[in-house]
Structure 1
Amino acid sequence: MVQRSRDTVTLDATFGPVDLGTHASQQTTYSIGTEHAEDSVVDLFEAIEFHADLKNLQLDTSHVLKINNLTASPCSSTYGTCKKGDMDGCAERLVELAGRGFKIEVHADHYYQPKGVRGAKSLSKKACEMMESAGIKVTVDKK
């Protein structure tokens, strides 16, 4: 069970007709920083890709991975809003996934604005633009 604080970021994910459930940020034993909700989804896809590769299966990339109800837009190691320490930012991980042929849509409530990062909102907007340049559809409600 994931213990959620008021700072916990959550999302709901689907892949085509398949409900992938609700994912939440959490501290894990295998990472220095906090694993974000988006990391959980990307980890799931990497496990699916690994399993398909073992079975010599071709994944159907015609479906869209939809990330909905995301509390804040993905963090970015490129733009300095990622504080996970030992992991790439969520934006970069999603861009890598898109680069492997997956169609992705991200719908967030607001831009990620971690404490202590000067200009975080502007930097998060740039991270969203980077994702859009990679073919990811990004919607942020509160601009």
Structure 2
Amino acid sequence: MSSTVARRVAREATAPSVTAQRKTADHGQGLTRTETVQRAPAAAYYAPDEESTAHPGFTTTVVATLNGHPIGQWTSETTAQSDNDHAEDQMLDYLDSEIDYYEGSYDPDSVMSTGVPRIRGGMRHQLALQITASPCSTTHGTSRKPHGDGCAERLIDYAENGYRGHKFTISMTAHHYYQPQGVRGAKDKSRSAVRDRRNAGIHVSVG
């Protein structure tokens, strides 16, 4: 278990549980094993190897490929009980854990090994995302997370800074703009968040 996952599990241990699916990464082979586990609906979001199955009517889904290789699908469960289990957070946490694993093992079967080596060290990766709704934004007021950055800001940070020497060229196709209920002018605010991502070098297509 990575330190990132361990921290999340420790925070969630005392909260009420819901059913989720744990998908275990077989490095170099994709997501292969599924088992039922119990998670906390009040958590900021689920661990990167899990996909919640509660309340399917309130979901956002991200499908991702890295360097042309499918790496998984993540589904948000945005409900009155848990409005912060965002698919984008799960996907980025998964990438963090995969990078941590690769940097500790240099496993040639890891999907992280398929990047292009950089002259100054590290790797350059192509990350392609298909998402049902454009990501939430703390900058533009469409995120309801009680703490931490919106998903738009986390993606911008990944595009600009990467993680542990791994840099990412990101492209994203969203089915529609994120328009959370109760946020005035939500569509225009989500359009502004799209502009921010484009200015950070992320290729974004909506609709």
Q: Distance in 2 between matches of 1:50 and 1:26?
A: 26
Q: Does 1:87 align with 2:87?
A: no
- Determine if the alignment matches structure 1 residue 40 to structure 2 residue 101: no
Contact 1:35 1:84 in 2 (8 A): no
What is residue 65 of structure 1 aligned with on the other side? 127
Q: Which moved more, 1:111-120 or 1:57-66?
A: 57-66
Percent of residue pairs identical: 38
User: Of the two structures, which has the highest relative contact order with CA contacts closer than 8 Å and spacing of 6 or more?
Assistant: 1
Residue deviations 1:33-84, cap 9 Å, x none? 422111111111111232334347996344311111x111010011110001
Question: Is the partner of 2:195 in helix, strand or coil?
Answer: helix
Identify which of 61, 86, 103 aligns with 1:10: 61
Q: Which residue of 2 aligns with 1:136?
A: 202
Q: Give the TM-score of the pair, scaled to structure 1.
A: 0.85
For 2:175, the equivalent position in structure 1 comes to 109
Aligned CA-pair RMSD: 2.1
Structure 2: gaps spanning 5 or more residues: 1-20, 22-51, 116-122
Any idea what the Cα deviations from partners look like across 1:84-134, whole Å, max 9, x if unmatched? 112210000001111122011111011000011111000000001101111
Secondary structure of 1:82's aligned partner: coil
Contact 1:62–1:103 (CA under 8 A) maintained in structure 2: yes
Distance in 2 (alpha carbons) for counterparts of 1:115 and 1:79? 15
- Gaps in structure 1 of 5+ consecutive residues: none
Q: How many pairs were matched up?
A: 136
Task: Give 1:36's aligned amino acid.
Answer: H
Say whether 1:127 aligns with 2:193.
yes
Q: TM-score by structure 2 length?
A: 0.60
